[in-house]
Amino acid sequence: MQPGVIAVIGTTGVGKSDLSIRLAKELDGEVINGDALQVYKGLDIITNKMPIEEREGIVHHLMDFLPMDQEYSVLDFKSDAMALIKQIHDRKHLPVVVGGTHYYIQSLLWRDTLLDTKKNVGALSGTQMQEQNDANEQFLRDSDTATLYKKLQEVDPVMANKWHENDRRKITRSLQVYFETGECQSDLIKKQHALSDNERLRMPSCIFWIYSSPDVLNARLDARVDKMIKGGLFDEIQGMRKSVGIDTDYERGIWQAIGYKEFDPYFTALEEAIKHDQPTDTAELEALKTECTETMKTRTRQYAKRQVLWIRNKLLPLCREEQVKIFLLDATSLDTWKENVSDIAVKIAKDFFAGNPLPAAENLNQYAKELLIAQRDLDWEQHLRSKQHRKLKTSKAEMERDGANWWYFKAQEYKKRKREGTLNSEVEVVGEYADAKPAKVPRIEETGKDKA
């Protein structure tokens, strides 16, 4: 087997870092951080970095190196991680990528996702790029749906034809892709489909999804927030507040860290009290701190839920490819974490890279059976209810009804809509066939109907 990679994914608070270290120790590996916030220097508590003394001497890359006033994109990560993977392979070691920023890992393992693209900015300066981005964001935010749809018709008529003119969310997403990449979303999708499964996957990949039941995980996350506060979270937040500039965007970079915005009301009130030489131990301030703590816990639980949704909706469909192995490991009980998570993962990883038979992923535990099989069944059920499936059923019924005249009717419909400018995806394939193959299509009078 050619050199590959292990990826450890899952929600916050399930032990991803612990497993990455065990795998690196057992398989002579090095860890590559795949968490968008752990790249920043310091701020170990708010970004939940594993303490150096607990890393057991394992080399960690792409961690703790970026100043907080800079940004690190998925494209930066992919470029840096690919270079590191080559270096690690050259040392005959195994890369272990770990993190909860799943779109980072997705862009690293698979080619030609929308996350891979980057606008050709030419000679634009950083300031000009930012001004252009701001203008685009304002246009998307402030324009009515009709204006957005008209713009999409101009830049990407194929996608405009696909979406309903009132579907603001999908229209906006297609325009975002165009603004961010400089290419039509329809063209990018064609590029994706042009690659075979073997070409899309960059290297042999064994993925471990660490999972915990939501009820148990939520309680664990709440307790971790309390531990973070006791461990010095407030000192880090206060340090961050001193570094805030007037142009700081709280939806980008390190400022997205859960805890910073959530405690802003408390620290704003606290700073006002200090400024006016007022008491800082009042019941009102204490109540505000408690309220902000609960907000942080809620946002942390919501983030964990979004992480699971990304895995199920984005990563799992890609892992349907035969070459990608994903194994869900049950981390619900910390008492059995070694037996249920790390021991199983080490054995599977060794067998994977040795080319030995692997266990059926769905049979590892109850959650694997529920989530992996259930998701596959759900995908099929959604397909059965989809517009695409209804079109296929309609076309089949029409073919059975019209017989040899089916292509004739469809070709005529295509030509009519093309003249009227109302062509849509429903007849697109038929039209391509009609244009590409001008062979004679049986007409109604040639079938014998008019000879009766």
Q: What is the pLDDT of residues 142-172, one digit of tens each?
A: 899 999 999 999 999 999 998 999 988 889 8
Task: Say if CB 210 and CB 341 are below 8 A apart.
Answer: yes
What digits encode the pLDDT tens for the residues 273-323? 999 999 999 999 999 999 999 999 999 999 999 999 889 888 888 887 556
Task: Say if CB 351 and CB 357 are below 8 A apart.
Answer: yes
Segments making up each domain of the chain, as ranges:
5-118+197-215+321-383, 126-191, 217-302, 402-451
What is the CATH topology of the domain spanning 5-118+197-215+321-383? Rossmann fold (3.40.50)
- 135, burial (CB in 10 Å: exposed 0-12, middle 13-18, buried 19+): exposed
- Mean pLDDT across 332-355: 95
Least confidently predicted of 8-17, 195-204, 319-328, 424-433: 424-433
Number of alpha carbons in the 13 Å side-chain half-sphere of residue 219: 7
* C-alpha angle 341-344-348 in degrees, rounded to nearest 5: 130
For residue 249 the two structure tokens come to: 């965007």
In which order are the strands placed within the sheet that holds 94-98? 60-61, 29-33, 94-98, 5-10, 205-211, 324-330
Distance of CA 7 to the CA centre of its chain: 14
Distance of CA 452 to the CA centre of its chain: 62
- Mean pLDDT across 34-57: 94
Helix (H) or strand (E) holding 43: none
Helix (H) or strand (E) holding 452: none
Smallest CA-to-CA distance from 438 within 407, 413, 417, 416 is with: 407
pLDDT at 125: 41
- The terminus-to-terminus CA distance of the chain in angstroms comes to 68
pLDDT at 199: 65
pLDDT at 352: 94
Relative orientation angle of helices 406-420 and 387-402, to the nearest 10 degrees: 130
Q: Please tell me the CATH code under which domain 126-191 is placed.
A: 1.10.20.140
Whole-model pTM: value is 0.70
pLDDT at 384: 56
Smallest CA-to-CA distance from 301 within 212, 374, 368 is with: 212
Helix (H) or strand (E) holding 111: none
Position 246 confidence tier, pLDDT thresholds 50, 70, 90 = low
How far lies 316's CA from each of 77, 79, 114, in Å? Answer: 21, 24, 16
As beta bridge partners, residue 61 has 32
Q: Which amino acid is at 76?
A: D
Question: Cα separation of 55 and 249, whole Å?
Answer: 33
Question: Cα separation of 138 and 176, whole Å?
Answer: 12
Res 442 pLDDT > 90: no
Relative orientation angle of helices 168-181 and 185-194, to the nearest 10 degrees: 80
Question: Cα separation of 222 and 396, whole Å?
Answer: 54
Phi-psi region of 123 (alpha: psi -120 to 50; beta: other; left: phi over 0): alpha
Res 448 pLDDT > 50: no
For the four alpha carbons of 133, 82, 109 and 155, in that order, the dihedral sign comes to positive
Position 135 confidence tier, pLDDT thresholds 50, 70, 90 = confident
* Gyration radius (Cα) of the chain, Å: 27
Residues in the chain: 452
Q: Which residues contact 138 (CB under 8 A, 6 or more apart)?
A: none
Question: Cα separation of 373 and 363, whole Å?
Answer: 10
Res 426 pLDDT > 70: no
Work out the mean pLDDT of the chain and round it to a whole number.
82
Fold matches, 5-118+197-215+321-383 and 126-191: no
Least confidently predicted of 201-205, 269-273, 283-287: 201-205
SS3 36: coil
Question: Cα separation of 436 and 112, whole Å?
Answer: 28
